[in-house]
Amino acid sequence: KAKAGSKVRQSDDVAALPTLSSPGKLLFPTDRISKQAVWDYYLAVADWLLPEIAGRPLSIIRCPAGIEQPCFFQKHLTSGLERVATVKLKEESGANADYLVVEDLPGLMELVQFNALEFHPWGSHASDPERADRVVFDLDPGPDVAFSEVKQAAVDIRKLLDQLQLESFLRVSGGKGLHVVVPLNPGCDWELSKRFAHGFADALARSQPDRFLATATKSKRNKRIFIDYLRNGRGATAVASYSMRARAGAPVAMPLAWSQLARLKRADAFSIADVPAMLKRRRKDPWQGINDINQDLSRWSQDE
Ligand code: ATP
Ligand code: MN
Ligand code: MN
């Protein structure tokens, strides 16, 4: 039986992997990376990626004609997808819609067959969609911020969270910034996780206005880092660990141990060319235990 709230498969034979079409199509023309290479990458990292996305409402970025042509963000079920599950969720408009949920390898690979390059889960599960179990602080540096400053920001945020008795985990986005991820167990409603994330970002920006800001206005960033707390509202997503990015060089969003941060050179330091081999020789999951930590935001639930 599929998870509560998601659709039960109609037949067993769709559990097999789909057939890959157009394997030679270049999805990253400049890098000469084919659809076959994207498929091979996701097969290679599936054991790591699936625990990060399985059972969660999932948005994808599809690039049917490659990353140099228009790509689109998709959150709903569309025709032809037979190996994915869905969950009915209320839209902001009030209407219900079938959101994508991947439960297993066939579902993942079917989305790859449909030219999905990036995977962006909700911070909640389809079985309990209104309960957030992760807070993501997305550090978005302005154009004049050195990467060393972004690294220092992540270290400082970790320390502040630590003082609140909240353990946090590190990810390079594969783009320009870092993500600091706080697991919640038990989780809480979106209203509380957003209020916490917003309050945290605001307090940081107020105490160090030369380094941080907590408003999304891009023109105001310049030498500062936007603490993007907006990844945390209902319906918001953040890129999954091990997802590739639909950007030049096919970088990967990689979870890291805090001890790896000092040596890190850039947020797009990892790519599909090196991640599978790296995972093979890796001895320990840098996010080991993330789902077993008991910490929550209940101390903030009383605030007005
Ligand atoms: P970077 O390090 O370059 O900032 P990032 O993944 O953190 O990489 P952001 O632009 O900071 O990128 O985050 C945007 C997030 O918003 C994405 O990770 C994704 O989950 C979500 N997102 C992206 N495009 C859309 C869209 N069209 N609609 C809704 N959400 C989106
Ligand atoms: Mn970001
Ligand atoms: Mn952002």
- Residues 14-45 have pLDDT tens digits of 569 999 999 999 999 999 999 999 999 999 99
Q: Kindly give the number of the ligand 1 atom that is closest to the alpha carbon of 72.
A: 27
d(CA 1, CA 210): 53
Q: What's the average model confidence in pLDDT over 126-132?
A: 98
Probe residue for ligand 1, chosen from 231, 234, 241, 266 as the CB with the greatest number of ligand atoms within 8 Å: 231
Q: Is 175 in the pocket of ligand 1 (CB under 6 A)?
A: yes
Calculate helix-pair angle for 147-163, 190-207, nearest 10 degrees.
120
Nearest to 297 by CA among 182, 194, 188, 138: 188
Does residue 175 have a pLDDT over 60? yes
Does residue 107 have a pLDDT over 80? yes
pLDDT in tens, 214-235: 999 888 889 999 999 999 999 9
Question: What does pTM read for this prediction?
Answer: 0.94
Q: Which fold has domain 1-128?
A: DNA primase, PRIM domain (3.90.920)
Does residue 5 have a pLDDT over 80? no
Structure tokens at 253: 């969003």
* Residue owning the nearest CA to atom 15 of ligand 1: 238
Q: Is 177 in the pocket of ligand 1 (CB under 6 A)?
A: yes
In CATH terms, 130-304 corresponds, of 3.90.920.10, 3.40.50.720, 3.40.50.300, 2.60.40.1220, to 3.90.920.10
Nearest to 304 by CA among 227, 233, 199, 206: 199
In order of 98, 122, 240, 267, the CA distances from 7 in angstroms are 10, 18, 23, 37
Q: Is 286 in the pocket of ligand 1 (CB under 6 A)?
A: no
Does residue 4 have a pLDDT over 50? no
Average pLDDT of the chain? 94
Residue owning tokens 């309050």: 199
Q: What's the average model confidence in pLDDT over 3-13?
A: 47
85: how many CB neighbours lie within 10 A of its CB?
25
Q: Strands across the sheet with 116-121, in order?
A: 72-74, 58-62, 116-121
Q: What residue spans define the domains of the chain?
A: 1-128, 130-304
The ipTM (two decimal places) reads: 0.93
d(CA 106, CA 112): 10
pLDDT at 207: 98
Do the domains at 1-128 and 130-304 have one common CATH topology?
yes
